Amino acid sequence: MEWNELLLIVFKALLVLSVVMSLAAYAVLAERKVAAWVQGRVGPNRTQIPLLGGIPIIGTFLTRLGVFQPAADGLKFLFKEEPTPGHVNKFYYLLAPMIAFIPAMTTMTVLPFGQYVNEAGEVQPLVLANLDIGILFILAVSSLGVYGIVLGGWASNSKFPFLGGIRASAQMISYELSLGLSLLPVFLWFGGSLNLFNIVQGQTDLLFGFLPQWTILFQPLSALIFLVALFAETNRLPFDMPESETDLVAGYNTEYGAFKFGLYFVGEYTHIIIGSGVFVALFLGGWNLPWVTLPAGLFGTVLSVLIFVIKMLALVFVFMWVRWTLPRFRYDQVMTLGWRWLLPLAVANLVFYAIIIAVIEQF
């Protein structure tokens, strides 16, 4: 590999990393604004940067939107004093937030977020690593994030974090099965391909000349099971058992603060963003729009990325909307939903579509 190719790869990786980190930071602001909207409040509207905030009209407008709040939060996490409790297992206590953060960042390498069509009509994916088993890579690596939660709960040597870690491991086992089973009909539908780009391309054409071939229209139960399991895997309400402030103070976060807490925080929102991107790629046609053919060249590339990001952010909004409208489940309700309802539904859904696809292939 030549130096210019290596530099290009590093540049693309840094660009995607900076975009995902920025989205995660502003997702926190969006969360607070959505919460304020649901509860009839205003949300962050005071923080400003002296040089920019003092600009008449524009600075005031940006301040009221809360645009500068993520910068203030990030600097607070970075420079805040980091006391380490004396009763913790220090090595694993420090290691746990990194284990929770790194898998979230790693999964974005195989998620395609757009396409480039050259003058010859060849379609190339915009992705850091176009793996043939991309979705398996995402499932395998993203599931490692729970080890950061479990390890942090154990290393804190405190009862509330310990209970939060146990809940996280039980919840992951309960919903990981349903999540994986909900994807098997999708793989069968697209000829056994595990490549996310190929699955998105398979949703490009129209059925009967007018019906988009988005997977969610043909496999709505698969999409629903995957979405519910995604809520549970990302520890979002109503499945936030590992934190559960009402009975565990802050769960596995209880003994953490400053930058270490920030790593957990960013890791959670990165999981939400990447999970939403995977859902868009698998069920919502990726960067495709019905009855619209994207043009070749740079304009079409930018348009494809924009469409994908808008769909992804719309799903992130759904995550936030659900958090501030639904009450938290009890722990026994979470386990009951996972084992008695979601898992049997996922198995039945797989059997049903296996039969349907086998019948279709006969004709």
> Would you write out the chain's pLDDT as a tens digit for each of its 363 residues?
577 778 878 888 888 888 888 888 899 899 999 999 998 898 888 887 776 655 666 667 778 888 888 888 888 888 888 888 888 888 999 899 988 888 888 888 899 988 888 777 788 888 888 888 889 999 989 888 888 888 988 998 888 889 988 888 888 888 989 999 999 999 998 888 888 999 999 888 777 667 888 999 999 999 999 999 999 988 888 888 888 888 887 888 888 888 888 888 888 899 999 999 999 999 998 898 888 888 888 888 899 999 999 999 999 999 999 988 988 888 889 999 999 999 999 999 999 999 998 888 887
Longest dimension (CA), the chain: 70
The pLDDT value recorded for residue 345 is 95
List residues bridging with 292 in a β-sheet. Answer: 289
Side chain identity at 183, as an amino acid letter? Answer: L
Tokens 């797989």, located at residue: 350
Nearest 10 degrees: CA dihedral of 49, 54, 58, 60?
80
In whole angstroms, what is the distance from residue 56 CA to residue 192 CA?
58
* H helices present in 107-155, as ranges: 134-142, 145-155
The pLDDT value recorded for residue 228 is 94
The pLDDT value recorded for residue 56 is 65
User: In 117-138, which positions are buried (b, 16+ CB within 10 angstroms) versus exposed (e)?
Assistant: beeeeeeebbbbebbeebbebb
pTM (predicted TM-score): 0.92
The pLDDT value recorded for residue 54 is 58
Token pair belonging to 344: 């049997």
The pLDDT value recorded for residue 314 is 94
Domain boundaries, the chain: 86-362
In whole angstroms, what is the distance from residue 319 CA to residue 237 CA?
8
